Structure 1
Amino acid sequence: MGWDFHSDFDHLSNQGTNHMRTTGMKRALLGAAIAAFAFNASAAHAATATSTATAKILRQITLTNTSDLQFATIISGATASTVSVSTAGAVSCGAGLTCTGTTTAANFDVEGTEGAVVVVGGDANVTLNGSLGGTMSSSLTYSDTTITLGASGGSFQVGGTLNVGANQTAGDYSGTFNVTANYQ
């Protein structure tokens, strides 16, 4: 039996390795515990909230012209004057002019979502060009700026004041104007 240096040395070597493994393991466990505590501390102070997503769907607006703005038949005079058609269709013929025939305000029907408010408007003026030359301008008047749609929609009218020149060139005059309708 004698001395076995290898086995004692191996024993000391293994003991040092085991000691280093144990110390390293303790440090790793301590680090993991600190990290877990820090994570749990943050989670303990976290807050949550909820929200609701909503949407409102409106029917697409349709806008239909059901009658045009007609200033009637006008016999011009030696001086410039005006012809006005109210949004109700009533005509006012200026001095020096003679107005005959049918007058109407333009009428537009609006369809969309019942109960919704619609903003209406459009061009402020229109230029009328004559078939034999010549032009006239008209300012436009809208019966409403907003309408609330009922079960069958709604409508608005457009009247205007036509500027007729002195001895205005004869002919059939026409011009187009745009109107709009948008949900408020």
Structure 2
Amino acid sequence: MAALWAMPAAAQQTQGQASALVLEPMSLTNIEQLDFGSIIPSGTIGYVTVAASGAVTTSGGVIAASGDARPARFAGQGSANRVIIKTGSSQIFLSGPGAQMRVDDFEIGALTGLSQLGNGNNYRITDANGIVGFAVGGRLRVNANQAEGDYSGSFSVTFNYQ
């Protein structure tokens, strides 16, 4: 009868490779807040939009009563030539003496040291020192006959290495 057990081959050894890429931790600082300025509501729902470029538009009978509206501005630093992805708030609410007002349609623009990749939320850090800057605009929904007073809220912008 033939042997049913095969003889093991001689042990073999090989080398594998290991590597690591150390990146500069991302840092972001809010330089200016998103400000929709002084507005006068109407008897119907209206909107105030502050673009990342600084352009201000209104609709629905809302009147921009001052020229002090402006986008938020951020500055930061990361590793040069790395791709990052933006996440953050999709909508927030401003609270004050009257009904809350919704802010949505956040947009990033006025890029410094960053280039957008496609139409999504991906960006490449293009500054050789990794220094970045950008503005954030948004759209405020003003309720009909909104109560007078100061309203505020906060939103988040997060960049992560991809």
Taking the aligned partners of 2:149 and 2:67, their CA distance within structure 1 comes to: 16
Which segment is superposed worse, 165-174 or 91-100?
Answer: 91-100
1:147 lines up with 2:123 in the alignment: yes
The match for 2:74 is: 108
The match for 1:88 is: 53
1:75 lines up with 2:75 in the alignment: no
Whose relative contact order is higher, 1 or 2, with alpha carbons under 8 Å and at least 6 apart? 2
Would you say the 8 A contact 1:148–1:154 is kept in 2?
no
Q: Which has the higher strand share?
A: 2
- What are the ranges of 5 or more consecutive residues in structure 1 without an aligned counterpart? 1-40
Following TM superposition, the consecutive aligned residue runs of length 4 or more in structure 1 with deviations greater than 4 angstroms are none
Q: Deviations over 1:19-77 (max 9, x none)?
A: xxxxxxxxxxxxxxxxxxxxxx857x332211111111011111111111111110111
Secondary structure in 2 aligned to 1:166? coil
User: Map of 1:129-140 to 2, 5 A cutoff?
Assistant: 129-130=95-96, 132-140=97-105
- State the one-letter code of the partner of 1:93: T
Taking the aligned partners of 1:142 and 1:47, their CA distance within structure 2 comes to: 57
User: Map of 1:7-86 to 2, 5 A cutoff?
Assistant: 45-86=10-51
Q: 1:169 to 1:79 in 2, by over 3 A?
A: same
1:182 lines up with 2:160 in the alignment: yes
Question: CA offset at residue 180 of structure 1?
Answer: 0.8
1:161 lines up with 2:126 in the alignment: no
Secondary structure in 2 aligned to 1:174? coil
Q: How many residues align?
A: 142
TM-score (ref. length: structure 1): 0.70
Q: Which has the higher helix share?
A: 1
Question: CA offset at residue 142 of structure 1?
Answer: 2.7
Let me know the Cα RMSD of the aligned residues.
1.8
